[in-house]
Amino acid sequence: MYKNILVPISFEEDRDAAGAIKVAETLAGADGKITLVHVMEEIPGYAISYVPENYLVESRQAIETELRDMAAPLANGASEVVSGHSSRTILDYAEKNGSDCIVIASHRPGMQDLLLGSTAGQVVRHANCAVHVIR
């Protein structure tokens, strides 16, 4: 069993957050900690002027509430919203917080993933701990 599991949560439709959380619960057993984390990507400077004034604050609050609600039923659950580039931030968070496992949902890879790389693919290739990918 793992002691400190990180579950990155994406709110995109093709990601299976519920499946990833269920797998994390199984891998954590009764004593393992599960942290749900959502990475808010930075909005490029050239686009920020098109974003409504309170959008970032309101969207962050909504995401924090949703994530907290998702973590509430977990025995040793926690949640956190962080800012940055998704894969690099997930990897840095796992390293900084001593995660021994990352459970991440992924979509079926397409041609764009071969050229650019998906978040899950980057996490699998560069993580210093075990990674379980859920499709």
Sheet holding 130-134, edge to edge: 77-83, 33-40, 4-8, 101-105, 130-134
Total domains, the chain: 1
Q: What percent of the chain has pLDDT over 90?
A: 68
> Can you give the residue range of the structural domain that contains 21?
4-134
Instruction: Average the pLDDT over 83-90 and give the result.
Output: 96
Q: Is the pTM of this model over 0.85?
A: yes
Would strands 101-105 and 130-134 be described as parallel, antiparallel, or unpaired? parallel
Dist CA 26 CA 2 (whole Å): 9
pLDDT for position 115: 41
The enclosing domain of 70 has a CATH number of: 3.40.50.620
The string of pLDDT tens digits covering residues 107-123 is 766 555 554 458 888 99
